[in-house]
Amino acid sequence: MSALTALFWMLVAHAMADFPLQGEWLATAKNHKLNPIKGQTIWPGALATHSLIHAAGVQLATGSYLLAGAEFVAHTIIDYVKCDGRLTYNQDQLAHVACKVVWAAALALGG
């Protein structure tokens, strides 16, 4: 599979994972500033689950568990920073797309 094809499928997976597969509950639950279940800290698991869905999309698109791991870490950090109010929605989305471009470049270079 070419790097361009992998990039296409990573972007499709990202769109699916950030919109129809995330939903309002997960978007709220992954935010460390919110507490949808009083008395419980659920954001770490919710954020990890959301990032894992994204990592799965990268693995399916590239066949690389290394790139999937990089996606998991990057997605977790980017979303945490966004929930912290240090990124806008558009900056968050741009950062995610930039990661996919980096993963595709790594794939093209044999990574």
Contacts of 88 (CB under 8 A, 6+ apart): 82
Q: How confident is the model at residue 33 (pLDDT cuts 50, 70, 90)?
A: very high
- Provide the percentage of residues in the chain whose pLDDT is more than 90: 95
**Count of domains in the chain?**
1
Structural domain of residue 12, as residue ranges?
3-108
pLDDT for residue 110: 87
Closest C-alpha among 41, 17, 31, 11 to residue 103? 11
Start-to-end Cα distance in the chain = 13
Note the pLDDT tens digit of each residue in 56-98.
999 999 999 999 999 999 999 999 999 999 999 999 999 999 9
pTM confidence score:
0.94
Q: How confident is the model at residue 111 (pLDDT cuts 50, 70, 90)?
A: low
Contacts of 44 (CB under 8 A, 6+ apart): none
Within the chain, residue ranges assigned H as helices are 3-18, 23-29, 43-62, 65-83, 89-108
